Amino acid sequence: MPAKTAIPDTPGISTCADNMLIVDYKGHPDPSSSVQQLYHYLIEHKPAYIQEIIAGIHTLAVILPAPSCNREGRSRGIDYLYMAISRSRLTVPARNHTVHLPICYARELAPDLDLIARHAQLETEEIILLHWQNTYQAQLLGFMPGFAYLKGLDLRLHTPRLEKPRHRVPKGSVAIAGEQCAVYPNSTPGGWNLIGATPLELFDPTRTRKNLIGLGDTIIFEKISKPQFERLCKK
């Protein structure tokens, strides 16, 4: 089914396979904020015939359960989404958290610091300053539990992914690639440039708030020394 738009300035809604609806905000002035506002509204007002909600940067996907994977179920889902889009614009934006994330830029934790500096044609201390003085926002969650794609990276730090990805990126590594920044909640292969590390647990299934960083949260990095990093790792 092609993208369908109800009124001007309303995002298009299309189907993908039998059980997925896609809300597309591409072309809107601030698509990321619109996606986040709709996401938080749907989380608070999710009907039984919506199984899962997945927020992207410009789009939002809604997964329908098996009983609703038919023409009638998809039509009902589309009608509900148009209503939710309209109402979400009238609601107060969700109160996102501000997460203060300690980061250590010691060389052994930031093996790509020199590479980033060469690409930017800056000194390493300038790279560190440009990174931690900025404020970031969680634009997208995914890849693995606790992994958040952060926007807000200084233009001078935009760096291509590594030509040869690592077989193992250490847990807690803070990395940059292109225009985004991220923190690895667990050890995994990866091709991003490692600029530092945090001692905090990004994902803990035993916590009420399992993800330390939620969609739309503000991230403030706080520079710490290697001894401070090691002490916090032991807690």
Indicate whether 109 and 170 sit together in one domain: yes
Please give the pLDDT value at position 160. 97
Write the burial class of residue 48 (CB in 10 Å: 0-12 exposed, 13-18 middle, 19+ buried). Answer: exposed
Under the phi-then-psi rule, with left for phi > 0, alpha for psi from -120 to 50, and beta for the rest, what region is 9? left
**Exposure of 217 in the CB half-sphere (CA atoms within 13 A):** 19
| pLDDT band at residue 33 under the 50/70/90 scheme | confident
DSSP code string of 95-150: ---EEEEEEE--GGG-TTHHHHHHHHTS-HHHHHHHHHTSEEEEEEE-SSTT-EEE
Whether the pLDDT of residue 34 is over 50: the answer is: yes
pLDDT in tens, 73-124: 888 889 999 999 988 887 756 667 899 999 999 999 999 999 999 999 999 9
Q: Examine residue 26 and state whether it is found in any structural domain, yes or no.
A: yes
pLDDT in tens, 179-211: 999 999 999 999 999 999 999 999 999 988 889
Whichever domain contains 62, its CATH number is 3.30.1360.40
Four-residue CA torsion sign, 61, 91, 40, 102: positive
As a whole number, the mean pLDDT across the chain is 89
Under the phi-then-psi rule, with left for phi > 0, alpha for psi from -120 to 50, and beta for the rest, what region is 81? alpha
Whichever domain contains 116, its CATH number is 2.40.100.10
Please give the pLDDT value at position 95. 65
Please give the pLDDT value at position 112. 98
- Structural domain of residue 58, as residue ranges? 12-88
Whether the pLDDT of residue 149 is over 80: the answer is: yes
Indicate whether 211 and 164 sit together in one domain: yes
pLDDT in tens, 51-67: 989 888 889 999 988 76
Please give the pLDDT value at position 19. 87
Please give the pLDDT value at position 8. 47
Of the residues 88, 115, 145, the one at which a domain ends: 88
CA-CA distance, 125 to 114, in Å (whole number)? 10
| pLDDT band at residue 4 under the 50/70/90 scheme | very low
Whether the pLDDT of residue 164 is over 50: the answer is: yes
Which residues neighbour 138 within 8 Å (Cβ) at sequence distance 6 or greater? 148, 149, 150, 213, 214, 215, 216, 217, 219
In this structure, what token pair is assigned to residue 171? 């847990």
Burial 61-91 (b: 16+ CB within 10 A, else e): ebbbeeebeeeebbebbbebbbebbeebeee
Please give the pLDDT value at position 5. 45
Indicate whether 155 and 68 sit together in one domain: no
Of the residues 30, 57, 88, the one at which a domain ends: 88
The answer to whether 191 and 73 are in contact (CB under 8 A) is no
Whether the pLDDT of residue 7 is over 50: the answer is: no
Whether the pLDDT of residue 217 is over 90: the answer is: yes
152-164 mean pLDDT: 96
Which residues neighbour 53 within 8 Å (Cβ) at sequence distance 6 or greater? 39, 42, 43, 46, 60, 61, 62, 63
